[in-house]
Structure 1
Amino acid sequence: MANLNRSNFPVERRIGASAPDATGIVHLGIGQFHRAHAAVNTALAMAEAGGDWGIVGVANRSRRIIDPMLNQDFIYSILQLSPEGTDVQLVDVHRRLFVAAEQPVEVLAAIADPNHKIVTLTITEKGYNKDGVTGHLMTDSAEIAPGLAGPDGAKAPLAQLAWGLVKRSQESKAPVTVLSCDNMQSAGNTTKAMVTEFLQAAGVDDNTMSWIAENVSFPNAMVDRIVPGTTEQTKAQVEQILGLRDEAPVPAEAFTMWVLEDHFKAGRPAWQAAPGVTFSDEVEQYELVKLRLLNGSHSLISYLGGLSNSPTIPSARDKEFVAKSVHAAIYNEFLPSIELPHGFDADAYVAQLFHRWQNHALGDKTARVGSDGSAKLLQRIPEPALRLLNMGQMPNEMALTAASWIACVAPPAGFDPGEIAAEMEEPQRENLAKATAGAKNTHEHVEKIMTGGFFPTELGEHAEFTDRVAELLDIIVTDGVEAAANNALGE
C-alpha cells in the first residue's frame, strides 16, 4: 500500500484549504489534540479568508509524530468516528516541524520571528508547572529549574516560550499573541502568570518585562473535542477508507467546540468561519462548563470505570451505577457551582455529553482519561466541593471522585485496583506512595493525601470531607466500587 504524500493525497478529502509556504503560527506541543482541533479550524479559516497562517509544529522530545508527518509532506488524516458513521478527512496546514530537545535554537528563533503572529500551546495541565496549592510556578521543578539560568538550559515548553519572548523583545519587538489550548480554567491568565513568574525568577530586566506586558496578549480560550490515542486499528481503518497508508492519523469524535476571547495583538485567522468556533467575552463561564460538566464527569467515569474493569469510556458509561453517579455529580454539585453563559441551554448540553460518552465507535480508553489526575482534579473537585461544605452539605460525588482516584493511583496497602488503573499515567504516583507510607488504616491513608499538598489546604481542613472520602474508599476496598457509588447516591 502506498504511503500518503503530496503527490497522491485526494484533494476532495481535504479539510478547508492547504496552507501557503508562509507560516504565521508556532505551536508548542504538537500531538493529537492540536492536530484535530486548532489545525483543523485553521484550515477552515484559510478556506474562508486565506492568510499566511501555515503552522510551525514543535514536539518537545519525541519524533513519534514528527517523522511520519515529514515523510508525508506534512499531510495527515482525521479519522472521524461517531455512531452515525466513519469518515476520513485530510489536513494540510503544517509547514515546518521541530523537536525542541534537538533543535532548541530553531524553536526560540521561531517564537521570536516577527512573521509569526501567534504562539499556540497544548502542553497539558502539568506542563505549566503550576503548584496546585499555592497557585504559583514551581520554580524548583525538574522541568523549570534548569531554564532559569538562561535559554541554553530551557528544556520545558514553558521555559522555551518565555525565553523566545525575551528574544523577540530584543530583536524585532513585534507584538504577538500566546494562546493556550489546554484544558485549564482561565488558561490565558494562567499562561501569562506562569511566564511572568518564570521570567521574574530568571532575573529578566524590567524593560523586557514591561515590553511583554504591553506587547504580548494571552487570551483565554475553552477547547473541546474528544481525541483518543492513535492505534494500529486507527491506521488500518484509515487505510481501508483512503486506500493509502497514513502513519500519523488522528481519531476524533465529530463534535468540536472552541470559545475564545478576541484579544489578538497581531491579527488572527478567520477562525469564526469554522463550525463550533465562537468569540465571546464569557470564555471563563464556558471554561467552567467544560472543565466541570465534561472534564469533571469524565474523570469520575474513568475512575469508576477503571475500578469496574471497563476498558473504554463508553463501556463504563453503559453501567447504570456510573451513569447515575455522573448525573448526580452534574446536577447536584457541578451545575450549581457555575454561573452559566447567557443563553446557555444546560440540559441540552448535558444530554449531548451523555450521547458523546456513548460513542463506542470512538472507544476512548479509560486509562487515557484517568491519567494525570493529580493535575486535572485540582480544577474539577475543590470549588464545587468547598461550595457545598461551606453550606454545611456533603459533596458526595466529589468525595467519590477523590476516593476512586486514590483507589486507582494510590491504593491502600493490600488493595489491587486492577490493570486499567495500573495503565493510568500519574506524575505524582511516587510522591503519593511516599506520603501514604506507614498509614495504619484507610482513614490515615486518605488524611495523608488530603493534607499532603495534593489538594488545596482549605479542602484538606474540612475533616468531614476527608472522613467521607475515607469512608467511600473503605467501601471500594471491601465491597467494590459499585457499592461505594450507590452509597454516595444514598442508595
Structure 2
Amino acid sequence: MPFLSASTTPHGAIIGASAPPTPGIVHLGLGNFHRAHCAVYTAKALAIEAGEWGIDGFANTSQRVVMPMRAQNYRYSVLELSDDATRTGIVDVHRGAAIVSDTPEAFIASVADPTRRILTLTISELGYCRSSRTGRLDTDIPAVRSDIADPENPHSTIGLIARALTIRSLSGEPMTILSCDNLQSNGRTTRQLILQFLDASRADEDVVNFVMRRVAFPNSMVDRITPATTATTIAHVENSLGVRDRCPVPAEEFSMWVLEDKFAAGRPAWHAAGAIMSDEVEAYELVKLRLLNGSHSLIAYLGALDGRETIAQAWAQPFIRQAVNECIERDYLPSITLPRGFDPKEYIESLSERWANKRLEHRTAQVGSDGSAKLLQRIPVAAEHALASGRVPHMLALTVAAWICAIAPQDGYDPGPVAAEIREPARGQLTEATRHEHSPRRAARAIMRNGFMPPELVAFAEFTHRVEELVETIVRHGARAASRDAVDAVETDPCEEE
C-alpha cells in the first residue's frame, strides 16, 4: 500500500482546499488538536475565500509528527469518529514542519518574518510559564530565569516569542498572536505574560510599544476532542483511503471555535468555515473550561481510580455520571454568566453524547494528564464562588481529592494501573510535599498548602477540610464510596435547599 503524499492523495479526499505555497500563519504545538481544529478551519476557509494562509508548523520537541509530515508533503488525514459513522479526509495547509528545540532560530525567524501575519499556539497550560500562585510569569522556572538573563538566546516558549517580536518590531509589521489553549482569557493572559517577560528582561521601550500597539491578542475558545493516534486509527485510514498515513488524527465529529474578531493583519475566512465571531468569548470560555474541561477532569480521575481505561468506559458508570451531573448543576453552572442565547440543557446533553462515544477510545490517562496546571483553570474560581456564598462545593472538592489520590498516592495505597499512566510533571513535587506525612488527611493538607492550589482558595479552611475527608474516604473505601459521600453531602446540605 502506498504512503500518503501529494501524488497518492485520492481524488476528492482534500478537506476544504490546499493552501498556497507561502505561509501566512506560524503555529507552535504541532499536535493532534491543532491539526484537527485550527488547520481544518483554515482548509475550509480557503475553499471559500483564497488567501496566503498556509501554516508554518513547529513542534516543541518531538519528531513524532514532524518527520512523517515532511515525508508526506505536509499532508495528513483526519478520521472523524461518531457512534454511527466514520469519515476520513486529508488536510493540506501546512507548508513547513520543524522542531523548535532543534532549531529555535528557525521559529524566531518565521515569527519575525513580515509576511507571517498570525502566530497560533497550542502549547498546553504548562507552555505559558505561568505561576500557579500568582498568575504571573513564573520566574522560578529555570528556562525563564535563563531567558530573562540572556533574552537573545531563549529556550522557554515565552522567551522565544518575545525574541521573535523584538526582531519583528524593527519592521513595524503588525501581527496577531492567537492562543488556542484552555486558559481563561487566553489572549489577554498571553499578552500579559509576554509584556512581563519584556519588562523583566529590560527590553527596549520601542519593543514594548510595538507589542502594545501593533500586536493583537484576541481571546478564543476552542473545543474538539482529539484522542491519541493508535494502530486502529492508522488501519481505519488505510481501509478508507487506500493509502498509509504515518500521522493521522482521530477526532470527534463535534468542533467549535469562538473568537474575538480583533486581528492586526487580517485572517482567513474562519467565520465562513463555521467559527463564531463574538464579543462574549470569555463567557464561552468559562462554559467550556468548567462544564466540559472541569467535568472531564472529574470523569478522568474517578475513572482512573475505578480502573476505566477510556472516557466512554468511565462515563458508563452510574456513580461517575451522577457525580459529574451534580458537579455541573451545583458547582459549575452557578459560577458562570452564560452567553446570550446559550441553552445549557442542550449543551450538557451534547456533552453526555460526546463522552459516551466509544469509537473515540479517548484514554482516561490522557485526559487526566497535567492536572497540576489544568485544575488551576477549572477549580479555584468556581469553588471560591460557592464558598463566598456560604456553600461547600463538595463535587469540586471530590475532583481535587481524586486527582491527589491518582497522582500522589501514599505508601500502602495503590490507585491502579490507569492512574499510573497519567502524565503529571508535578508528580515529583507532590511526592516530596507529602514525604513526611503518614495519614491521608495530612498528605492532602500538605498538598493543598504547598502551592498546588492558590492561597485564596486554601484560605477557605472548610474546602481544604473537605478535600482531606474525601482523600481519606478514597484511600480507605474507594472512589465509589467517596463519590457517594460527596453526592449525599450535596443532597443534604441545607444551603442547597434554600
Please give the range of the TM-score, normalised by the shorter of the 2 chains.
over 0.9
* Residues 1:189 and 2:171 aligned together: no
Moved more, 186-195 or 100-109: 100-109
CA positional deviation for 1:464: 1.3
- After superposition, the C-alpha distances for 1:30-86 in whole angstroms (9 at most, x for unaligned) are 111100000000001110011000000011111110110010001100011110211
Determine the C-alpha separation between the residues in 1 that align with 2:319 and 2:29: 37
Q: How does 1:327-476 map to 2 (within 5 A)?
A: 327-476=325-474
Q: 8 Å contact 1:450–1:459 — kept in the other structure?
A: no
> What is the aligned partner in structure 1 of residue 201 from structure 2?
202
Determine the C-alpha separation between the residues in 2 that align with 1:78 and 1:162: 33
Moved more, 120-129 or 467-476: 467-476
Determine the C-alpha separation between the residues in 2 that align with 1:87 and 1:366: 24
TM-score w.r.t. the length of structure 1 is 0.98
CA positional deviation for 1:149: 3.2
SS in 2 for 1:305: helix
Determine the C-alpha separation between the residues in 2 that align with 1:151 and 1:83: 50
Q: How does 1:243-254 map to 2 (within 5 A)?
A: 243-254=242-253
- After superposition, the C-alpha distances for 1:61-114 in whole angstroms (9 at most, x for unaligned) are 111101100100011000111102111110000011121122222111100111
> What is the aligned partner in structure 2 of residue 167 from structure 1?
167
Determine the C-alpha separation between the residues in 1 that align with 2:52 and 2:438: 62
SS in 1 for 2:9: coil
Q: How does 1:61-460 map to 2 (within 5 A)?
A: 61-170=61-170, 172-275=171-274, 277-460=275-458
SS in 2 for 1:259: strand
- After superposition, the C-alpha distances for 1:245-299 in whole angstroms (9 at most, x for unaligned) are 0001000000000000000000000001113x10000000000000000000000
SS in 2 for 1:143: helix
Determine the C-alpha separation between the residues in 1 that align with 2:44 and 2:158: 28
CA positional deviation for 1:151: 4.7
- After superposition, the C-alpha distances for 1:338-369 in whole angstroms (9 at most, x for unaligned) are 00000000000000000000000001000000
Point out 4+ residue stretches in structure 1 off by more than 3 angstroms: 149-152
- After superposition, the C-alpha distances for 1:276-323 in whole angstroms (9 at most, x for unaligned) are x10000000000000000000000000000000000000000000000
Q: 8 Å contact 2:300–2:368 — kept in the other structure?
A: yes
RMSD: 1.0
Percentage identity across paired residues of the two chains = 49
Q: 8 Å contact 1:28–1:157 — kept in the other structure?
A: no
Q: 8 Å contact 2:151–2:201 — kept in the other structure?
A: no
Q: 8 Å contact 2:177–2:216 — kept in the other structure?
A: yes
Matched pairs, number: 489
- After superposition, the C-alpha distances for 1:388-446 in whole angstroms (9 at most, x for unaligned) are 11222110100100100000001123111011111111111111111111113222111
Q: 8 Å contact 2:176–2:265 — kept in the other structure?
A: yes
CA positional deviation for 1:11: 3.4
TM-score w.r.t. the length of structure 2 is 0.97
Determine the C-alpha separation between the residues in 2 that align with 1:339 and 1:412: 39
Q: 8 Å contact 2:440–2:475 — kept in the other structure?
A: no
Determine the C-alpha separation between the residues in 2 that align with 1:482 and 1:28: 40
SS in 1 for 2:42: helix
CA positional deviation for 1:384: 1.4
Q: Which amino acid aligns with 2:196?
A: E
Unaligned stretches of 5+ in structure 1? none
CA positional deviation for 1:152: 4.7
Q: 8 Å contact 1:321–1:486 — kept in the other structure?
A: yes
Q: 8 Å contact 1:328–1:397 — kept in the other structure?
A: yes
- After superposition, the C-alpha distances for 1:444-472 in whole angstroms (9 at most, x for unaligned) are 11111111111010111222111111111
Q: Which amino acid aligns with 1:380?
A: R
Q: 8 Å contact 2:300–2:365 — kept in the other structure?
A: yes
Q: 8 Å contact 2:129–2:138 — kept in the other structure?
A: yes
SS in 1 for 2:359: coil
